[in-house]
Amino acid sequence: MTSTTPIQGNNQGRISRRFAELKQQNRAGLVTFISAGDPDYDTGLNNLIALSESGADVIELGMPFTDPMADGASIQKSSLRALTAGQNMQKTLQMVRELRKKDQDTPLVLMGYYNPIYCMGVDTFLAQAAEAGVDGLIVVDLPPEHDDELCVPAQKHGINFIRLATPTTDAKRLPMVLENTSGFLYYVSSTGVTGAAAPTPEKVEGEVSAIRAHTDIPIAVGFGIRTPEQAERIAKFADAVVVGSALTDCVENAATPAAGTDAIAELTRSLAKAVREAR
């Protein structure tokens, strides 16, 4: 059985502590996603703080990129809005610093693609991310074969590297996926892009159980979860429930930036309540 990879650094333990707390409380966690700087820096920061204050147990903050190939229309548009407003990696890291002035406890994971990190320089990025208060990375286009490029250096900086598994991750591939994964495993419950229709909870539960036979790392389930009712069903068996597209839709559909922030806070509160009451 594979366990969480030990890491060293000044951020050691924030994700592990949160999942230990959730286990002690006998409940699943709520993992929320928004794109950094959507629709602009100031509003994006307000949205980030709203997640923190409204019940998110872990926050995924998207690193906007021009070619988000694994994302559906909602997150693609959120990334484009942020880039159009001038969001870049330095501003994204600054948002993390601003959040840490208010919240030292909620784990924060940067999620996105390798290109912006590579362009900044891996060593520079990791040093600044650790200093800002980043706890984990999800980089969807770096497979395990390239662990030496970012995954292993990240863990040396005290930053968890969170891997994705999918329904097509077979028994032969799974050990390689799990080998250097730390923090938690993100189980993508459906094939395709983010925001796609979710499979039945019964099917996902069986797939998650099969993965648990190979690891004791927490498993967060996402893709296609949009409502409190859906989140509650997944929370009955997953260690955490991930919601992203529904939150980025709050920004797109809002009449004003402030209304978008209010909608994000309201949805997060309702999702958090559903997750907490699932067991």
In this structure, is the dihedral angle defined by the CA atoms of residues 207, 204, 2 and 179, taken in order, positive or negative? positive
Our count of domains for the chain comes to 1
Q: Which domain holds residue 89?
A: 14-276
Is residue 8 situated within a structural domain? Answer: no
Q: Are 196 and 236 in contact (CB under 8 A)?
A: no
Q: Are 109 and 184 in contact (CB under 8 A)?
A: no
| Predicted confidence band of residue 223 (pLDDT cuts 50, 70, 90) | confident
Question: What CATH number does the domain containing 120 carry?
Answer: 3.20.20.70
Is residue 199 situated within a structural domain? Answer: yes
| Predicted confidence band of residue 197 (pLDDT cuts 50, 70, 90) | low
Percent of the chain with pLDDT over 70: 92
Active-site hit among 42, 53, 57, 60: 60
In this structure, is the dihedral angle defined by the CA atoms of residues 37, 38, 40 and 42, taken in order, positive or negative? negative
| Predicted confidence band of residue 72 (pLDDT cuts 50, 70, 90) | confident
Known catalytic membership, residue 60: yes
Across the range 223-242, mean pLDDT stands at 95
| Predicted confidence band of residue 24 (pLDDT cuts 50, 70, 90) | very high
C-alpha 273/C-alpha 279 separation (Å) is 12
Is residue 3 situated within a structural domain? Answer: no
Write out pLDDT tens, residues 89-129: 999 999 999 999 999 999 999 999 999 999 999 999 999 99
Write out pLDDT tens, residues 139-168: 999 999 999 999 999 999 999 999 999 998
C-alpha 145/C-alpha 147 separation (Å) is 6
Active-site hit among 57, 71, 207, 239: 71
Q: What is the pTM of this model?
A: 0.92
Is residue 2 situated within a structural domain? Answer: no
Is residue 1 situated within a structural domain? Answer: no
Is residue 6 situated within a structural domain? Answer: no
Output the pLDDT for position 190.
73
Write out pLDDT tens, residues 29-42: 999 999 999 999 99
